[in-house]
């Protein structure tokens, strides 16, 4: 009884997912109604017909007429499907086997279990051994199952134009998490708003709004990935973040180009309709730039850009479900990328040198010549980037033409880094204060300490990523010593401690401020 209940729970749980053929791995929406074999194995009609065509009497060396009087070599699959699903009448079964025995024998065969029938067939034809496919198949992972599409209803976008937040509201929510980057937040807010208006509106007057993909350029640590992650939290849409460094041309070791859509399909719980209105962010897009003076085949550069063209433009592509590459054991799904918004981002190192070279073309010698170091001290030189600069960097024109919105992110200054430490909702200093609150200790950073941390982060030249590594270094001793003494009430981080000229100040519960224990030991 427990096994029956378990099978029923599995059937109810998988009712919203399509059946997958055990042999060709195609879903039921493409193959038609599939046959359910013992062990919950599903076989599509095409694979079943090919199997019976291969079991011809001339090729196998035995007479298939002995098997219940049916010739499998010329048998139609529809007959077997009706038998397996129990739709064929008993009279039809008895008429097909009148040449092999009496009616009593037929009745006994109908009452036999599938296991007894298999043993009887094996005894009749000794050269055949049946394999339990359930032992090979097992349970299909949930990540490789496709959700069924609702029949009888027209395909809808599922997006209500009245519920789409306005650009200024999107920007206000981004301001709570992202410091600075006012221009970038404005561009991405308007772009996302227009994209979902395009999906929600119906083409009544024949005007088709084209998709506007985005390309963001900014130095490392400026918040490109964090901006997109925050945007996905605010909008209730599936988001997939892919890394361009692992993509290669089809047929080579690495992830196929369609794997970026597979990640979006997984984020949408394998719902194709929901995934077709999602957002894909391809990070490190500068790593697929065309290699210069390369004598070998560029399988991870220009060829990847060419492979992404059809995805960015919008087309129906076959993507593997629950895997990064296509193979015989992975089901495939057809996804239309016309309504998927692609956002590409990259740091593009050394791009500023290309911009300087373009700006210095006025003259090389003479009285009107530009100095080579004329633009060395120009802040945010990346803002002057053009399409020609990106072509020189190694991006092909066809790829850039499918990313019409181009915007840049500014490098973080000392003031911006200080704001990153304190102002966002999940600021780094707030995280450490929360950690010490669990030990009932108050943590305070004075203004001098925050400024000193920002100055050290500027020296590392890795943007906001340097902040956590700096704080981890100076908080190590504090996090180690505090659990030793339950009388510690407050810890104050000073500029002297950050500059290694002194130690933090601690306040015991009900007493005055005292130096940190580690400072006493060092003295």
Q: pLDDT tens digits for the chain (523 residues)?
A: 455 655 555 555 556 777 888 777 778 877 888 888 776 788 888 888 887 777 654 555 434 344 334 444 444 545 555 555 554 544 444 444 444 444 444 444 445 555 555 555 445 444 444 455 444 444 555 556 666 665 444 444 456 667 778 899 889 888 888 888 899 999 999 988 888 888 877 655 667 788 889 999 988 888 888 888 888 777 777 888 888 998 988 778 888 888 899 889 888 888 888 888 888 999 999 999 988 766 677 788 888 999 999 899 888 988 888 776 776 677 888 899 998 999 999 989 888 888 888 887 654 555 555 555 565 656 678 888 999 999 999 999 999 999 999 999 988 888 999 999 998 888 899 999 999 998 889 999 999 999 999 999 998 888 888 899 899 998 998 889 888 888 888 999 999 999 988 888 888 876 655 554 444 344 3
Question: With b meaning 16 or more CB within 10 Å and e meaning fewer, what string describes 404-434?
Answer: eebbbbbbbeeebbbbbbeebeebbbeebee
- The pLDDT of residue 219: 87
* CA-CA-CA-CA dihedral for 219, 223, 228, 229, to nearest 10: 140
Q: pTM of the entire structure?
A: 0.71
Alpha-helical regions (H) of 66-144: 77-84, 90-96, 103-111, 114-124, 133-137
Q: Can you tell me whether residue 239 is helix, strand or coil?
A: strand
**Alpha-carbon distance 192 to 198, whole Å?**
10
- The pLDDT of residue 432: 92
**Alpha-carbon distance 55 to 125, whole Å?**
13
Residue 407 phi, psi (nearest 5): -145, 160
Residues 6+ apart with CB under 8 A from 101: none
- The pLDDT of residue 108: 47
- The pLDDT of residue 305: 92
**Alpha-carbon distance 443 to 437, whole Å?**
8
- The pLDDT of residue 352: 87
Which residues sit opposite 445 in a β-bridge? 493
Instruction: Return the structure tokens found at 399.
Output: 């790829």
Looking only at the bridges linking them, the beta strands covering 341-346 and 279-283 are parallel
Which residues sit opposite 490 in a β-bridge? 442, 507
Residues 6+ apart with CB under 8 A from 257: 247, 250, 304, 307, 308, 311
Question: With b meaning 16 or more CB within 10 Å and e meaning fewer, what string describes 178-191?
Answer: bbbbeebbbbbbbb
Residues 6+ apart with CB under 8 A from 259: 242, 247, 319, 320, 323, 324, 325
Per DSSP (E only), the strands in 3-85 are 35-37, 41-43
């Amino acid at each position: 009884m427990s096994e029956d209940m378990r099978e029923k729970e599995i059937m109810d749980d998988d009712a919203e997912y399509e059946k997958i053929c055990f042999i060709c791995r195609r879903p039921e929406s493409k193959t038609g109604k599939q046959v359910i074999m013992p062990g919950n194995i599903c076989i599509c009609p095409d694979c079943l017909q090919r199997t019976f065509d291969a079991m011809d009497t001339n090729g196998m060396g035995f007479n298939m007429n002995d098997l219940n009087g049916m010739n499998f070599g010329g048998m139609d699959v529809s007959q077997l499907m009706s038998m397996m699903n129990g739709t064929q009448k008993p009279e039809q079964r008895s008429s097909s086997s009148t040449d092999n025995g009496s009616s009593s024998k037929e009745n006994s065969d109908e009452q036999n279990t599938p296991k007894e029938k298999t043993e009887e067939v094996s005894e009749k034809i000794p050269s055949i051994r049946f394999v339990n496919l359930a032992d090979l198949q097992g349970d299909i992972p949930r990540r490789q199952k496709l959700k069924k599409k609702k029949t009888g209803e027209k395909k809808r976008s599922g997006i209500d134009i009245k519920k789409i937040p306005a650009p200024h509201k999107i920007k206000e929510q981004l301001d709570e998490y992202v410091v600075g980057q006012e221009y970038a937040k404005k561009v991405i807010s308007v772009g996302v708003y227009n994209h979902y208006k395009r999906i929600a509106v119906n083409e009544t007057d024949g005007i088709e709004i084209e998709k506007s993909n985005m390309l963001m350029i900014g130095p490392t640590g400026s918040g490109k990935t964090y901006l997109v992650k925050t945007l996905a939290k605010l909008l209730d849409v599936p988001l997939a973040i892919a890394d361009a460094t692992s993509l290669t041309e089809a047929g080579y070791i690495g992830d196929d180009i369609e794997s970026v859509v597979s990640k979006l399909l997984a984020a949408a719980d394998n719902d194709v309709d929901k995934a077709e209105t999602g957002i894909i962010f391809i990070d490190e897009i500068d790593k697929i730039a065309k290699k210069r003076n390369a004598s070998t085949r560029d399988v991870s550069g220009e060829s990847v850009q060419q492979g992404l063209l059809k995805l960015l433009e919008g087309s129906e592509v076959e993507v593997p479900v629950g895997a990064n590459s296509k193979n015989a054991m992975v089901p495939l799904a057809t996804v239309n990328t016309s309504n998927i918004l692609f956002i590409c981002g990259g740091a593009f190192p050394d791009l500023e040198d290309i911009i300087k070279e373009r700006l210095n073309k006025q003259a090389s010698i003479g009285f009107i010549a530009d100095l080579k170091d004329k633009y060395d001290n120009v802040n945010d030189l990346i803002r002057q980037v053009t399409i020609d600069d990106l072509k020189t960097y190694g991006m092909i024109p066809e790829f850039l033409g499918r990313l019409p919105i181009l915007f840049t992110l500014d490098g973080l200054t000392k003031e911006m880094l200080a704001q990153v430490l304190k102002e966002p909702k999940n600021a780094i200093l707030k995280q450490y204060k929360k950690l010490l609150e669990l030990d009932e200790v108050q943590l305070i950073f004075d203004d001098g300490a925050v400024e000193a941390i920002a100055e050290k982060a500027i020296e590392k030249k890795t943007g906001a990523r340097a902040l956590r590594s700096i704080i981890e270094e100076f908080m190590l001793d504090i996090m180690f010593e505090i659990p030793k003494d339950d009388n510690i009430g407050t810890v104050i981080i000073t500029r002297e401690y950050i500059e290694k000229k002194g130690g933090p100040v601690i306040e015991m519960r009900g007493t005055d401020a005292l130096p940190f224990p580690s400072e006493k030991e060092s003295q």
